[in-house]
Structure 1
Amino acid sequence: MSHKKDEAAGAVLALLDLLAGEGPASRFEAPVEQARRRGVRGADLRMVEQVKRLALSIHARLDRRQQWSAGLTSLVDTACDLAAPHSVEDTLKIITRRARLLLGADVSWVTRPAADERLFRLHALDGHVSMLNTRIRLPWDAGLAAAVLAHRAPLWTSDYLTDDTFRHADGPDEWIMAEGLHAVLGVPLSRGTRPLGSLHVADRSVRHFSADEIALTSMLAEIGGVALERAVHLEETREDMAVLRDRALRAEAELAAARRVAATQRELLDLVLGGCDPHTLVEEFRARLGASVLLCGAHGTVVAGAGDMPEGTREAVTRAAMDAGPLGAPEPWLLEGGVWSVPLFTGSHYLGALCVHAGPALTDDAAELLRHAAGAAAVLLFLHQGSAAVAEGQFRDELLDDLLMSACRPREQLERRARRLGIGLDQPYVVVIARPDGGAQVRAVTWASAYARRRNGLKTTHEGDIVLLLPGTEAGAAARAVRHELSSLLGRPVTVSGSGPVSDPGAVLHGYREAARCLDAMIALGAVGTSASTHDMGFVGLLLSDHLDAEKFIESTIGAVLDYDEQRLTELTRTLDAYFDTGGSPTYAAEQLHVHPNTVARRLERISDLIGSDWQKPERALEVQLALRLSRIRRVLRERGESAGHPAGRQDA
């Protein structure tokens, strides 16, 4: 018995020795088998087996602690590795590589929400063998990644494709099958409560993940979340810094360009103020701009030029110089043949234009240089001729102001002032009033000054309207021309009225009053944005006129019919009366005239040939009827006047 107990004690010591030496678990069965072969039985054998079980339990705990310690060490190493600054993609690669090594898994990856769509994208795969991942998109509401982010907790499955505790999707399942994966563990990749994605590890065999493995992976995800957030902020900061750097470089370049332009402007002004002539200045422009240059006056005359302009462009340039005044702003505008023109102003007074053959497109630097060159040219023209031109413009405005005064100045004085400006007030002129809609008064006035000077007329502003006195006899045509040019320039409606002609200084005020009443009537009738004269408005114009000229109204409306009757002894006028008296019925008119209806029809056709085919329209018909009545009244008055002048004849009668 003593021998058996010694064998049992030896087996126990052997087990303790294996435990102390951290021997493998497979060797713990050998001392028990040896004791059994040496005859240990009964309670002694059960004691040895119990010691073996306790030793294996202690061994397992030690092994688990070693694994946990190794995992913590790996986490510390990972944290140290992630402490250095990395890009977002490099950070994700470190996380997935460490996760795969930490659990001894086959594949690891990170899923992150896509920025522009409701999907998840795979990032930084480690250990994969297929290329399906390059095009796979994970739906936001299916797959293990969606479940992990929805629950904000770790989830795992021992066999992904057969697990129906979460929703499946074709894309992820196809990729899992292509990779041959079974066990998959997913943990949230987050920073505090902010989810950044999910970290996944997977095996190509069925596997049950232990609590320690899940805890270690979650700790790795926490560390990775901090590093990922920092990497994202770092990339955003770098992008912001790159943007700021680009802005700083652009600002430096713009500042350098502004300094160059300022230096150029200063040099050009010094050249002008130093007393240079136009030819010297234009040569300097050509050298700086590298193109042919023409300096033109307000009337299109060439003041100076440098270089050779293309054939056929000089006429266009001089014409553009005459028309440049309405632009109202010293901005380059492109003419035909790649020639750029810049209007030259001093205040609102137009002096001329600077034209440069610089091609179909201007760089920003060239446009800026051209504007400064135009400024220097404007200063030069003003010094040479501008002060006299500005004074002349003021004299013109003051002359028209005096003509519009109710207490008119002596006629001889007005005519003398007009002759000094090259204007003959004994010649026919028309009065035109323009009223722009919605402002733009300054630009319109600038245009009016240039237009009046081009037409050798006068311009002023009166009660907020632009008033023009222009040579001519057709007030309606002048009003249409003004409306067309001014509305095209301003890009908004302009209402224009006209009256005249007038050929006497004292008649200008009457012409203005007629045109003003015509303008007010047009606006009251809803004709905003149109043009008309008192003559164009028919019987309304007759009422608006300062002098009720019924003779002119009759002649302009039915004068051709009256002349035809007088020359051919026909009855067209009487036919018109009958036609209107019977309500516009040719049949009833024929009965009243005691003629055949065909005769009335032929007479009406002849009337259409004489006064226009639209005389039966309501507006024209009203004017024709009014003219017929005025004609009858005129005839009656004339007959009475003739009778009063021949008393003898009256006694005979």
Structure 2
Amino acid sequence: MSQKKDETAAAVVALLELLAGEGPANRFEAPVAEARRQGVTGADLETVEQVKRLALALHARLDRRQQWSAALTTLVDTACDLAAPHAMEDTLKIITRRARLLLGADVSWITLPTTNGRALRLHALDGHVSMLNSGLRLPWDAGLAAAVLAHRAPLWTSDYLTDDGFRHAPEPDQWIKAEGLHAVLAVPLSRGTRPLGTLHVAERSVRHFSADEIALVNMLAEVGGVALERALHMAEAREEVSVLRERVQHAETELASVRRLADAQRTLLDLVLGGCDPHTLAEEFRATLGASVLLCSAHGTVVACAGEIPEDRQGALARAATDARPLATSAPALLEGGTWSVPLFTGSHYLGALYVDAGPSITGDETELLRHAGRAAAVLLFLQEGETAVAEGQFRDELLDDLLTGGPRPREQLERRARRLGVDLDQPHVVVIARPEGGTHAQAVTWASSRARRDNGLKTTHEDNIVLLLPGTDPGAAARTVHEDLASLLGHPVTVSGSGPVADPAAVRHGYREAARCLDAMTALGAVGTSASTREMGFVGLLLSDHVDAERFIEGTIGPVLHYDEQRLTELTRTLDAYFDTGGSPTYAAEQLHVHPNTVARRLERISDLIGADWQKPERALEVQLALRLSRIRRVLKERGEPAGHPAADQEA
């Protein structure tokens, strides 16, 4: 009996030694078998087996604790890894790699919603063997991931393809089948209550996941969710920093560009204000712009050239400079051959054009350089123009004075002087006399000088009046324009008269005399502060004219009636004569014409249609009667064989 007790104690000690030495579980049966072989039976053998069972239970508990401790160590290591800043993709890779190692799984991956939130996309797969995952998009409402996001709790399946506990979709099922996966565990990858995505671990065999495994993956997902959110914030911050860096670089580039442009503008203006000549400025343009430069005046002359521009090309560009005036803009314009044209203005005053052979395409900075160069060139031409303006103004005044006084100067000399000033006296001009009725006379003279130079005309003062010789054929329109502009400038009434047109140096004096008589007539008639021309004053203008033009007066007054009679063989002119002869009575006129009064009434209506309904008013009626009388005299003279419109005939009329 004592020997059996010793064998029992030896078996118990052996079991305890195995437990203390953390021996494998399959070796715990050996001490029990040895006790049986030594003859231990009954209660003693039952004691040994009970000790074995307790030892195995303790061994399993210790093993579980060791596994849990190792898992916690893995989680701590993962948290340490994720504590360092990582890009989003690197963060996802760390999470999936640690999830796979944590459970010893075959495959792990993460699904995240797409940007528009209408699908899920696979990220950071670890352990996969197929290529079907490349760019794989999953439906947002199907698959295990969609179920996890909907319930916000871990879900698992022992065999994915045969499980009907969630909705299936072709895309994830095809990929699961290609990878040979069965058991899949998915937990929400979240930050607090906000789900960011799902973390998956999977096995290529059918199995069940324990509560400890689910808890471990869930804890990893919580740690990963914090890291993922931080990675997202860091990605957003990096993007914002990148945008800010680009803006700063853009701002620095623009600032450097502005400084370069400011330096170039300062250099150009210093040259101009320092009194440089146009050729020096053109050379500076060439050095600054890196291209050949041509500077032309508004009159089509070459002021300066720097670079290799053929003479025929210079001439063509100089002629084109005269056509740039109507543009009224200083914006550079591309011409044929890669030449840029920059019109030069001071206010609305056109000075010329700057041409630069900079090629068909230029940058924004180069465009600004062209603008700065154009401004500098405009300032130079303006300063030069100002230096010659006084002398040129005196020449213009003297030329118009000589034309008005009709001195003994040869016509050729007058025309030559006019051509030097850019005035062609053989072209139609109108004479305008302006008499300010108040205000500063000097201010009116200054305005007149500017107006004459702008319109390429002449100006002078004569007998305390301002006299203008302007290109044009309508003296009335010119007088109205001068009246409106000058009255608006002075703020006082201005009386303006006009005559012409004249197209001969000798005719300027006669035009001035007619305009002067018209001005006196306006004063006598109480029309001070208005504008008129001899042509607009009807028969009064006829009387004021140096050369009586009865033909024009008749044509302007009753010409439509005369033409109507000639073309249709009617008697409207006879009806007018009878109407005025009978004191304006249609009835008596009908008796004189031997027609019915209604016929006279219809003829008078036709006359109103032809020359205006106001022809019966006293002022118009007087002009119509005078025109009828002159027309009758002209007809008599023609019957005598004298040419119509002969000066002697006009004087007799």
Identify the match of residue 564 of structure 1 among 559, 563, 567. 567
Question: Which residue number corresponds to residue 198 of structure 2?
Answer: 198
Distance 1:408 1:265, change over 3 A: closer
- Aligned match of 1:232: 232
Separation in 2 of the partners of 1:38 and 1:14?
Answer: 14
Partner of 1:101: 101
User: Which whole-Å CA distance do the structure 1 matches of 2:391 and 2:183 have between them?
Assistant: 97
Moved more, 236-245 or 374-383: 236-245
- Name the structure 2 match of 1:219: 219
Q: Is the 8 A contact 2:431 2:500 kept in 1?
A: no
Go from structure 1 to structure 2 and tell me whether the alpha carbon gap of 1:462 and 1:92 turns closer, same or farther (over 3 Å shift).
farther
Deviates more, 1:273-282 or 1:329-338: 329-338
**Structure 2 residue ranges without an equivalent (≥5):** 398-429, 453-457, 461-466, 490-495, 502-513, 533-551, 575-604, 633-653
SS of the equivalent of 1:336 reads coil
Match of 1:301 in 2: 301
Is the Cα contact below 8 Å between 1:110 and 1:197 reproduced in 2? yes
Distance 2:497 2:339 in 1: 34
Q: TM-score, normalised by structure 1?
A: 0.65
Residues 100 and 201, structure 1, Cα contact 8 Å, conserved in 2: yes
Paired position in structure 2 for 1:375: 375
CA distance in 2, matches of 1:80, 1:281: 70
Q: In structure 1, what is the Cα distance between the partners aligned to 2:367 and 2:250?
A: 18
Paired amino acid for 1:133: N
- Report the equivalent of 2:469: 424
Task: Report the equivalent of 1:285.
Answer: 285
Partner of 1:126: 126
Q: Is the 8 A contact 1:561 1:573 kept in 2?
A: no
Q: Distance in 2 between matches of 1:171 and 1:426?
A: 86
1:181/1:205 contact within 8 Å kept:
yes
Residue 107 of structure 1: how far off its partner (Å): 0.6
Task: Report the count of equivalent residues.
Answer: 502
C-alpha deviation, 1:246, in angstroms: 3.2
Cα 1:400–1:71 change in 2 (3 A) is farther
Alignment check: 8 A CA contact 1:349 1:390 kept: no
Tell me the TM-score normalised to structure 2 length.
0.65
Point out where structure 1 has 5 or more consecutive residues left out of the alignment.
434-451, 474-502, 516-548, 575-620, 646-653
Identity %: 63
Distance 1:429 1:19 in 2: 128
Cα separation, partners in 2 of 1:135 and 1:409, compared to 1, 3 Å: closer
SS at 1:156's partner residue? strand
Deviation at 1:622, TM superposition (A): 10
Pair 204,472 (structure 1): closer, same or farther in 2 beyond 3 Å: farther
Which is further off, 150-159 or 280-289?
280-289
Partner-residue secondary structure (3-state), 1:197: strand
Cα distance in 2 for residues equivalent to 1:208 and 1:348:
90
Query: Structure 2 matches for 1:407-486, cutoff 5 A?
Result: 419-420=458-459, 423-424=468-469, 428-429=473-474, 460=485
Give the whole-Å Cα distance in 1 for the aligned partners of 2:145 and 2:391: 84
Contact 1:458/1:470, CA 8 A, preserved across alignment: no
Moved more, 140-149 or 231-240: 231-240
Q: Contact conserved, 1:400 with 1:458, CA < 8 A, in 2?
A: no
State which structure, 1 or 2, has the greater radius of gyration over its C-alpha atoms. Answer: 2
Q: Match for 2:567: what amino acid?
A: Y
Partner letter of residue 565 of structure 2? Answer: L
User: In structure 2, what is the Cα distance between the partners aligned to 1:196 and 1:72?
Assistant: 23
Q: 1:242-284: per-residue Cα shift (whole Å, max 9, x none)?
A: 3333333333333333333222222222222222211221122
| Superposition deviation, residue 45 in structure 1 | 3.5
Distance 1:472 1:245, change over 3 A: farther
Deviation readout 1:551-574 (Å, 9 max, x if unpaired): 879968676442213xxx479999
Q: Letter of the aligned partner of 1:307 in structure 2?
A: G
Distance 1:409 1:54, change over 3 A: closer
| Contact 2:431–2:469 (Cα < 8 Å) also in 1 | no
Root-mean-square deviation over aligned CA pairs: 4.7
In the other structure, the counterpart of 1:524 is: none
Seen in structure 2, the aligned counterparts of structure 1 residues 629 and 289 have a Cα distance that, compared at 3 Å, is: closer
Mapped partners of 2:277, 2:249: distance in 1: 40
The answer as to 2:350 corresponding to 1:347 is no
Superimposed CA distance per residue, residues 153-180 of structure 1 (whole angstroms, 9 cap, x where no aligned partner): 2111111111111111110110000000
**Who is 1:361 aligned against?**
361
Q: Which residue of 2 aligns with 1:275?
A: 275
More displaced, 176-185 or 156-165? 156-165
Find the aligned partners of 1:191 and 1:571 in 2 and give their Cα distance: 107
Secondary structure at the aligned position of 1:115 is classed as coil
Provide the rounded CA distance (Å) in 2 between the counterparts of 1:469 and 1:100: 105
Which region of structure 1 is more displaced relative to structure 2, 164-173 or 50-59? 50-59
1:173 and 1:114 map into 2 onto residues whose CA distance is 20
Preserved CA contact (<8 Å) 1:154 1:218: yes
How far the C-alpha of 1:404 sits from its partner, in A, is 9.7
Q: 1:190/1:332 Cα in 2 relative to 1: closer, same or farther (>3 Å)?
A: same
* Distance in 1 of aligned mates of 2:185 and 2:612: 105
State the alpha-carbon separation in 2 of the partners of residues 322 and 469 from structure 1.
31
What residue number does 2:593 align with? none
The within-5 A match list for 1:80-119 is: 80-116=80-116, 118-119=118-119
Q: How does 1:251-650 map to 2 (within 5 A)?
A: 251-309=251-309, 313-314=313-314, 317-386=317-386, 403=434, 419-420=458-459, 423-424=468-469, 428-429=473-474, 460=485, 504=515, 560-565=563-568, 569=569
Q: In 2 relative to 1, CA 426–432 (structure 1 residues): closer, same or farther, beyond 3 Å?
A: closer
Using the alignment, how far apart are the partners of 1:78 and 1:178 within structure 2? Answer: 30
Shift in Å, 1:117: 5.4
Write the distance in 2 (CA, Å) between the matches of 1:161 and 1:558.
107
**2:32 & 2:281 partners in 1: Cα distance?**
116
Q: Please say if residues 92 and 123 of structure 1, whose CA atoms lie closer than 8 Å, have aligned partners that are also in contact.
A: yes
The 2-side partners of 1:553 and 1:45 are apart by 151
Superposed CA deviations along residues 471-514 of structure 1, whole A, max 9, x for unmatched, are 998xxxxxxxxxxxxxxxxxxxxxxxxxxxxx84869999x999
